[in-house]
Amino acid sequence: MKRIVIIGCQRSGTNIAAKIYAHDNNIPLYNERDLGYSSCALTFESYAVLIEFMNNTDEFVLQAPSLNAYCDQINHWLDEKVKIIWVDRDSDEIRQSRYRVEWPGEEKEAAKYLKEFGWLIDHWHCVDSVDMAKRVFDEYQSKLITHEVVSYNSMKEHELWKDKRESIGIGET
């Protein structure tokens, strides 16, 4: 049984990472949007759908950057643990990608981190949700969970990688 959740900052490369893991392990790929969850805030309804899916699906790769802020809680929600993979990408590259696709989620993403981790973020000088997500993960969540880190740049040699990434939009690889 292989159950993998791919997390990371929005626009960090979770989509290509999920496609690579699904391809290389011959496991069905799901996107959080497939489950009706594409918001930057977890609602009771989206939480219930995600839990039901993860508890009732034997094998999956779930691309879920919106779950990034909750990664330290995911395995507490489930009957059986999932493997968590964090995609690490340079912060400025993430910002450039967000700008290029006119990513609309900055306010919601930042609000989510402030709501969940305001007690940590208050003493940091975070510029945006990229800083928030990375600081929270590096200094708090990563110490609480078993996870693997994959570098965005390490995927460039994979056969699924597309070289002309500047033309890739939201949800594309």
Structural domains for the chain: 3-162 (3.40.50.300)
pLDDT of residue 38: 64
pLDDT digit string, tens, across residues 30-53: 998 888 776 666 777 878 888 999
Q: Report the predicted TM-score, pTM, of the whole model to 2 decimal places.
A: 0.90
List the strands of the sheet with 3-7, edge to edge: 29-31, 60-63, 3-7, 83-88, 147-151
10 Å CB burial of residue 71 (0-12, 13-18, 19+) is buried
pLDDT of residue 171: 57
pLDDT of residue 166: 55
88 Ramachandran zone, left/alpha/beta (phi>0; psi -120 to 50): beta
Residue 11: phi and psi, rounded to 5, are 75, 25
Specify the length of the chain in residues: 173
| Cβ atoms 34, 113 nearer than 8 A | no
Strands of 32-136, DSSP E: 60-63, 83-88
Sites in the chain below the pLDDT cut of 50: none
10 Å CB burial of residue 159 (0-12, 13-18, 19+) is exposed
pLDDT of residue 170: 57
pLDDT of residue 122: 86
Intra-chain end-to-end CA distance of the chain, in Å:
26
| Cβ atoms 130, 106 nearer than 8 A | no
pLDDT of residue 21: 96
